[in-house]
Structure 1
Amino acid sequence: MMDEQQVIIIRKRKKRHNEGHHGGSWKVAYADFVTAMMAFFLLLWLLSMVSPEKRIAVAEYFKSFSVMKETGSSFMTGSSQILDKAGGGANSVQDYKNIKDRISPKDLQQRLKSAIDINLQSIRDQVIINIVDGGLKIQIVDKEGSLMFPLGSSEPTAKAKEILKIVSDNIKEGSNRIIIEGHTDAAPFQSAQTTNWELSTSRASAARRELEKNSIDPGRIAKVVGYADQEPYIPLNPMDPRNRRISIIVIQPK
């Protein structure tokens, strides 16, 4: 018989150590987090209790906030009076309403284009709407055989009145200020007493009257001006009929 081989078994024993208790540092961090959240929700609750005009005053204060003024005085000086100064101010209430009612250029552009496509398909190419620096520019231009004003006249045609009514209907609910500009082509005016300066200004004023007739608040009109032929729409062709136009700029405050 073969000698039986002796099997050696090695048993390893792990020594177990009692786990120590976790440290308490996490409790401090958690307490800080809960305190910060409580302060945040308390601030939200306080803001919900403040009137809109007072919130505007607070926002205006923090726009120019600095910890130390030039004089070295604390920022706390006078800051407790913010809400008192804002309370009951008619101008503050009006400012809040104006901010709330302003129409964004993009929304207004989409609204106007849709209204013109539906109601003015035959002359929609004579209404040019672009977002520009400072707001939305609506240009009502002439073309051969389709005039917004008879030549040499400041009385708008039926087409011009129809366009101005649609423009008015879409901007009258906002509070944005409005600029109205009149432009002519380079053709000299026949009358010795009247030039393109007077004609362009008269046409801009006629457009203003149409807007006001269609429920635009006169207080929203910021400027009415005539530029004669000095700002042509087609600079390479000063006689192009598209240079004869009315521009309505709906201002978007910065």
Structure 2
Amino acid sequence: MSGQSNAAPIIIKKVKKGGGDGHHGGAWKVAYADFVTAMMAFFLLMWLLNATTEKQRKGIADYFSPTIPLNRVSGGGDGAFGGESTFSEIALPQVGTGATSLNPTPQDKSSGREAQQAEDAEQRQLEEIEKILRGQSGESDVHPEMLRHIVTRVTDEGLVIELFETEEASLYMGETAEPTALLEQLAAMLVRVTSLVTNEMAIEGHVHARPVVLNNNPVWDLSTQRAEGMRKLMEQQGLPGARVARITGHADRELADRNPMSARNNRLELILLRKNR
């Protein structure tokens, strides 16, 4: 009994390992990042499917497909034309049956030459009439007093012949559409000069502005009546009626002089229209 009482007691000590609240490793962070990336890609795909057309989706699918070339006709190059030059027959625009703008067919060549020749001939005719009306041609018989009332210019629409009043000489009797002797002489001269060509003609009337605001402003009616009166006056002098394509009254909306009341704004414009317009 005494031997057992002197024996050292056995003590069992349980030690709890610490560090559980510390580092757990970073693998879960990588997995979470992959998950977030996959979700972003998924929502981006859903948005693309909803925001694109069927043709656009087909193009996107072809782009990411390694078995489908981006250019259906491979030319051995990575340019916009598949390796072809911009001046090659394949890249040039087609202008006819089997022809390009560089190598047109004989028919295209002849029709193009004929059209250009016709335009050049018409341009020369209009310029010749312009010289006559400016007194720069040997065949011109336009009186110097008439030249003071004529301004010409060649435009894309045709030859514009402008007849205008001055403070000293009027084309009409007061604020009416009754022509003066000067306008009658101008009309006869224009019929004679414009008979050199067969182009159709447009006649446009313009008047100056009125000094006060009127309840019944006559500028629209007056400009139209003057243009119509010029047509009748020229037909009386021998102008074929079929040559007049249109009659227009512009009132005081297109002034030739900054002063709206200037007599220079009282004018007629006769336009020899180009045939290809």
Q: Given the alignment of the two structures, is residue 179 of structure 1 paired with residue 210 of structure 2, yes or no?
A: no
Give the Cα–Cα distance (whole angstroms) in 2 for the partners of residues 188 and 209 of structure 1. 30
User: What is the CA deviation profile of residues 159-204 of structure 1, one whole-angstrom value per residue up to 9, with x for unaligned ones?
Assistant: 0010111111011242101010000001269996661100000000
Specify which structure has the higher proportion of helix.
1
Partner in structure 2 of residue 110 of structure 1? 131
Where in structure 2 are there 5+ consecutive unaligned residues? 1-94, 100-104, 108-117
Change (3 A) 1:127 1:238: same
> Which of the two has higher C-alpha Rg?
2
Partner in structure 2 of residue 28 of structure 1? none
Partner in structure 2 of residue 72 of structure 1? none
Aligned CA RMSD, in angstroms, stands at 3.3
* Greater relative contact order, per chain length (Cα 8 Å cut-off, separation 6+): 1
CA contact (8 A) 2:205 2:268 kept: yes
Q: Given the alignment of the two structures, is residue 67 of structure 1 paired with residue 88 of structure 2, yes or no?
A: no
User: What is the CA deviation profile of residues 37-72 of structure 1, one whole-angstrom value per residue up to 9, with x for unaligned ones?
Assistant: xxxxxxxxxxxxxxxxxxxxxxxxxxx62328xxxx
Q: How many residues align?
A: 165
Identify which of 119, 143, 157 aligns with 2:180. 157
Secondary structure at 2:248 match in 1:
strand
TM-score by length of 2: 0.52
Identify which of 225, 241, 253 aligns with 2:263. 241
Change (3 A) 1:190 1:145: farther
Partner in structure 1 of residue 227 of structure 2? 204
Secondary structure at 2:187 match in 1:
helix
Residue correspondence of structure 1 range 108-147 to structure 2 within 5 A? 108-114=129-135, 118-147=141-170
Partner in structure 2 of residue 228 of structure 1? 251
User: What is the CA deviation profile of residues 200-245 of structure 1, one whole-angstrom value per residue up to 9, with x for unaligned ones?
Assistant: 00000011111111222111111101000000111x2111111000
Partner in structure 2 of residue 217 of structure 1? 240
Letter in 2 for 1:219: A
Change (3 A) 1:117 1:176: closer
TM-score by length of 1: 0.57
